[in-house]
Amino acid sequence: MAVKYDKRVRVIFAGLGGHGALAFGELLTEAAARSYKYVSFVPNYSPMMRGGESETMIAASQEEIDSPVWREADVIIVTSPTGFRVAEQRVSPGGILIVDDSVVREKAEREDIKVFYIPARRIACETGDPLTANFILMGAYLEATKAFPVEILEETIESTSKGTSRERLLSANKRALHEGINLIANYKEQPL
């Protein structure tokens, strides 16, 4: 049963090649498509398979989406040290910036946005599944925005990974998702 949402979704994942920006975008788009009438997903990356800037833009709405590309997003997840400053500038006023601070060393300067620092890459490496870092960030995104119930994401992870190479990561990805949710639920502001 699809749940109807009125809330608009406009999210950017700004990472480097290999960080899982594409997988993040594809999954979020699939999940959004279960609750929203219109979705758009644009991957945009440099020619390098590994290490180049890699960005995905995801939008969902009950109304037709005029443009699938935009400078400003309501939520930006950033894992690219070189793309961090640009990403910070692209959050809409009052929006949310989620930073993987095990990769990005800088701190945000803007005061009109909410910033969460989540060491996703480090935690993912410690659990032995470095590939799950983007799912930790997905969980953080879910909890920070309440854009979808976690069940919709879990269902989507199951249905989209069935029969693919991602299937072996299914339980690890789900665990990572909840890890991210808990990190935001128990989030304490960091002293500057």
Partner 1 sequence: MTERILSTGNDAVARAAIYAGCKNYFGYPITPQSEIAHYMARELPKMGGCFLQSEGEYAAAYMLLGAALSGQRAFTSTSSPGVALMQEPLSMMITAEIPAVIVDTQRLGPGTGTGGQQGQTDYSFVTRGVYGGIHYPVLAPYSVSEIFELVQLAFHIADKYRVVTMVLTDFILGRMTEYMELKTFDFGPLPEKDWALKGKDRKGGRTDFLLTVTGMMLDIPGFFAHQQEKSNRIIDSETRYETYKAEDADFLIVGYGYAARASKRAVNMARDQGIKAGLFRPITLWPFPKEAMKREALKSGKVLVVEDSPGGLVEDVKLAVEGVSPVHFLGIQARHTASPEGLIFPERILQEVRELL
Q: State the residues that interact with partner 1 by CB under 8 A.
A: 26, 29-30, 33, 38-47, 53, 55, 65-72, 86
Give the amino acid at 136: I
Nearer to partner 1, 69 or 192 (CB): 69
**Which structure tokens are listed for 138?**
């997905």
Q: How far is the CB of 90 from partner 1 (least distance, A)?
A: 9
Q: Dihedral sign for Cα 150, 155, 156, 162, please.
A: positive
Q: If you count DSSP H runs as helices and E runs as strands, how many of each does the chain have, helices first?
A: 6, 6
On whether the CB atoms of residues 124 and 133 are closer than 8 A, the answer is yes
Nearer to partner 1, 35 or 132 (CB): 35
Q: How far is the CB of 85 from partner 1 (least distance, A)?
A: 11
Nearer to partner 1, 73 or 176 (CB): 73
Q: How far is the CB of 183 from partner 1 (least distance, A)?
A: 29
Q: Which residues pair with 57 in a beta bridge?
A: 12, 42
Nearer to partner 1, 29 or 173 (CB): 29
Nearer to partner 1, 44 or 161 (CB): 44
Nearer to partner 1, 118 or 147 (CB): 147
Q: How far is the CB of 39 from partner 1 (least distance, A)?
A: 7
Q: How far is the CB of 1 from partner 1 (least distance, A)?
A: 17
Q: How far is the CB of 72 from partner 1 (least distance, A)?
A: 6
**Which structure tokens are listed for 186?**
């128990």
On whether the CB atoms of residues 74 and 10 are closer than 8 A, the answer is yes
